[in-house]
Structure formats: structure tokens, C-alpha cells
Chains A and B, each alone.
Chain A
């Protein structure tokens, strides 16, 4: 199986976050933390992304957007919820417009807690996501092979 753990490309989406987590996500790419040394790139294009980084809770307004972004990503893919809002809804949980964490709309694989989540925690989450990404990729390859065999 091909080793694809060296090149995780991120799609970063800001749900209804207060921007605290978003600044920390971008801080991961600055010289201090330099996530690019792990091959991480912040693409902003769902068609090219492998890991979906979502911050902030889900509300009625951004729900279709999040769902669409997730659907546009080619498998294998991994979803990381960054910050307590994306995990559970956080302090906005009781608000009339908030549905809850990212897992109310799409299947979340890794939860990174914190308010705001620390860059170290985010990088740790990404590293965990990368391991899962490799596993998904292997499963996906096996599935494709099986399909080909069945087709023949």
C-alpha cells in the first residue's frame, strides 16, 4: 500500500466560530509551528483536500455548506473538529440557532478540545487524523480492488 501520510492537505472551514480557533489554526502554519514540515498544506479547495478542519458550531445557515463541502471531498477523507464549539456546540450550545457540534451534520473522526484549541493540540489532532487517513486509504484501495474483481 502506498504511503500517503506525508501529504495531508487541509480544508479549513469556519462554522460559527468566534475566530479564536481559526487564528490558532493559521498559527500552525506560521514559522513557530510550521505544519508544512509534515507536508500539511492549507488548500481551501474541497476537491483537493484530504482533511476537513472545522471550527465553530453548526447552525441552520451553515449546515448545507458544511454538508456540501464534505460531499465535494474525494475519499479517503478525515474530519477534524477543532475547538469545543465544533465538538459539542460549546458555550453557544443553548443558543436558539445552534444545532450543536459538527457531528450533527457530518461524521467527525477526531475531536480537538480547547477554547481556543492550542496549536500544539491542533497539530496533534492533525497527526492523529493522518494515521486515520492512511487506514482509510488502504481500506479504499482494497474496496476498489474488490470492485474491479467483481466487475470482471
Chain B
């Protein structure tokens, strides 16, 4: 029981550091892929420190509250996951968090921010089936939604759930706001909606958004690791290697694809979800 509490506390303390470092590595690798030198590894931290040192201008004072709720719910999601509770519940809390981000976007009534927020909802529509199917897949394979029980067995469930893994990595591109699916807000540089959902977020609000993203990324990487982890300690090392590979693939996709229209994103995501996770689901139900 104590183990879960320790993991949860470690998540709260280390997730922003790991998330920030991952983004730093992301920016460095992206730069190298474009034959640039790129910013220093700690650049994301410099950015956030600077944002905290700027004057706060907010269009609507409720925005800070909504973003704080988004932040708290995201931390709660990760804490629930790493303390080993229900994975389905984790994703429900995650969806609630994303809804608060939507409200933080539309409350400013800025057209850029509003359209970005609506695209955020469409993105949720695109990735939600794959996320729920992943939970169902874990249940079918392990007989439990409980993260501790899924991670505590003798086999890695990726053997049963390769299709779910592919679907989940696919929607990870949306969740991590990577091109070609970065319709609501770009990960870097500007787009046709200026900054999309974050257009009206300045200084401290943007810093809060940034830190929440780091928490989210670490949580998502945790889910990737859950596919691999079993009771032996070697699987932990393997899972870290797998998640680094997945992260690299995401960066590669980000740098080699142009942004898509939302309708194409929805179709492609649902097709991939249906054919990889859906087929895997049918096979799993026949076997079990």
C-alpha cells in the first residue's frame, strides 16, 4: 500500500522535471532534424521561469481559476494512475481536465481562442474511442481495471494488446499536440489561429498551462509503460526504452508531417482505432 503513496509523491515532485527535460530533448532533436543547433536542453524551464516573472494580463479573471482546475485535475489523474488505482477512472478525470481547458479557451470570447477550444473538443472526440478501448483491452487481458493488478502480473500485456498499443501511440500524437494533429494549439511556432487555444493566455497562465502539459506527458508515458511493465524489474528498463522509442517516433512524425484538417484527423484516427484496436478486441474476445 505504501508503495503506491511513494510513487504518487514521486510523480508530483518529478513529473514537471521529467516533462520539462523531455520537451527540452524534443526541441533539441527537432532542431537537429532541421540541421539547426537548437536551444539549450533546459530551454523549457527558462521559458517557464520567464513567464512567471512577467506582468499578468488576463482577459477574464476566471481563466486563472479554470486553468488551475485543469492543472489540479491533471495532477490528480497522474496521482491516481501512479498510486495504482482504476485506469478507467484516470481517463475519466483526464477528460474532465481537458473540458476545463476548453472552458479556459472559450471564456475569453476571442475568436482565435474559441476556435482553438472547439478544435480541442474535436480532438477529444478523435482520441476518446481509442483511450476507452485501451482500458477495455486491459480489462479483457488482465481481468481488472486496477493499474496495480495490471502491472503486477508475470506477463507484459503488449503480447495480448499489440493493436491497442498501436492505436494508443497513434492518438498520442494528438494528446502531445504534435503535427499533423496539432490543430487546437501548436507545439511550437505559430499557425493560422495565432496560438489557438492558448492565444489569450499570457505570463503566469501560460506557465501553468505549460507545466500541466508536462504532467500530462509523463502520465501518458506511464500508460505506454503499463503495456510493458510486469512483476520483474527487467520489464521496467524495457518499458523506459520503449517509451523513449515512442517519444522519438512522435518527434519524427512531428517533423515530417504538415498539419491536417480536423475532418481528416477524425477519419484517420477513427479508422486506425477501428482496425487496430477493434480487430485486436475481437481476437481477444474470441481467445478468452
Contacts and interface: CB of A to CB of B under 8 A. Distances in A.
Q: Do A and B bind each other?
A: yes
Interface of A: 2-4, 6-7, 9, 31, 34, 36-39, 41-45, 47-48, 50, 72, 74-76, 137, 140-141
A43 B112 CA distance: 14
Interface of B is mostly: loop
14 contacts: A7-B43, A7-B46, A31-B34, A34-B36, A37-B38, A37-B40, A39-B43, A39-B46, A41-B188, A44-B195, A45-B195, A45-B198, A47-B201, A72-B57
B53 A6 contact: no
Given A48-B195, A74-B202, A6 B40 contact: yes
Contacts of A42: 189-190
Interface string B196-225: 001111110010000000000000000000
A47 B36 contact: no
Interface residues of B, number: 32
B55 A75 contact: yes
A146 B200 CA distance: 28
A79 to B, nearest CB: 16
Q: Considering residues A4, A36, A39, A43, which has the most beta carbons from chain B within 10 angstroms of its beta carbon?
A: A36
Nearest to A137: B53
Contact of B36 (A37, A45, A141): A37
Given A34-B37, A37-B38, A48 B56 contact: no
A47 B43 contact: no
B49 interface: yes
Contact of A48 (B36, B55, B202): B202
Contact of B53 (A4, A38, A45): A4
Contacts of A43: 190, 195
B5 interface: no
A143 to B, nearest CB: 10
Given A34-B37, A36-B31, A43-B195, A140 B47 contact: no
Contact of B50 (A47, A50, A141): A50
A45 B188 contact: no
B197 to A, nearest CB: 12
Interface of B: 27, 31, 34-40, 43, 46-47, 49-50, 52-57, 188-190, 194-195, 198-203, 206
Contacts of B202: 47-48, 74
Nearest to A45: B195
B22 to A, nearest CB: 18
A12 B202 CA distance: 17
A152 to B, nearest CB: 20
Contacts of B189: 41-42
B50 A34 contact: no
A31 B36 CA distance: 5
B206 A48 contact: yes
A44 B198 CA distance: 12
B286 to A, nearest CB: 51
In the A-B complex, the 6 residue pairs with the closest CB atoms: A47-B202, A44-B190, A6-B46, A74-B55, A4-B50, A7-B50
A137 B36 CA distance: 29
Nearest to A34: B36
Contacts of A74: 54-57, 202-203
A44 B36 CA distance: 21
